[in-house]
Amino acid sequence: MLTLSTASPEETVELGEKLGELLANGDIICLQGDLGAGKTYLAKGILKGIGVNEEVTSPTYTLVNEYQGELPAYHIDLYRISDYRELYDIGFEEYLYGDGITIIEWPDKSGSLMPDNYLNITIKGEENSRKIKIIPQANKYIGLVTELKENVDFSSR
């Protein structure tokens, strides 16, 4: 587990960018936190880190935004899902197990469709500062977290 603090939305984006640079095809990133915690800022940075140059917006109403960088990327927001069975209608499993990187906000709403292997990130925000916990949920993410720790200047504050 890695715990970091960011002092501004820009630092949260920068952290996401450094994480995005380490991601590979098939990686799944789960972002958890209250409304306004900074999940979308972190997602913007992750997408920037994989080479997405277009504007990144929250998919709260569209459920899924697709992007193309060095890899395809899928930003999924499950906040408005009331029953995980609704996810069959959007092809949720195809995003998880297809090509590219999948970023999921509100992953707890995916019920039994949630995969076993993912990088879990919990964000707690207070005004502009964020406390970010990064927890690998599979062995393949342990090395990624170690490398991220070596490449970030954000200390546990």
Query: What residues contact residue 56 under an 8 Å CB cut-off, 6+ apart?
Result: 40, 43, 44, 47, 48, 65, 67, 75
Kindly list the structural domains of the chain, giving each domain's residue range(s) and its CATH number in brackets, ordered by start. Answer: 2-137 (3.40.50.300)
CB atoms within 10 A of CB 113: 14
Beta-sheet pairing, 2-6 with 129-136: antiparallel
Contact predicate 73/101, CB 8 Å: yes
Contact predicate 118/97, CB 8 Å: no
Beta-sheet pairing, 101-105 with 119-126: unpaired
**pLDDT at site 37:** 85
In whole numbers, what is the pLDDT of the chain averaged over residues? 90
Query: What residues contact residue 150 under an 8 Å CB cut-off, 6+ apart?
Result: none
pLDDT digits (tens, 9 = 90+) for 86-132: 999 889 999 998 899 999 999 999 988 988 899 999 999 877 789 99
Predicted TM-score of the model (pTM): 0.91
Between vectors from CA 125 to CA 119 and to CA 131, what angle results, nearest 5°? 55
Q: Is 106 left (phi over 0), alpha (psi -120 to 50) or beta?
A: left
pLDDT digits (tens, 9 = 90+) for 6-15: 998 899 999 9
| Band of residue 157 on the pLDDT scale cut at 50, 70, 90 | very low
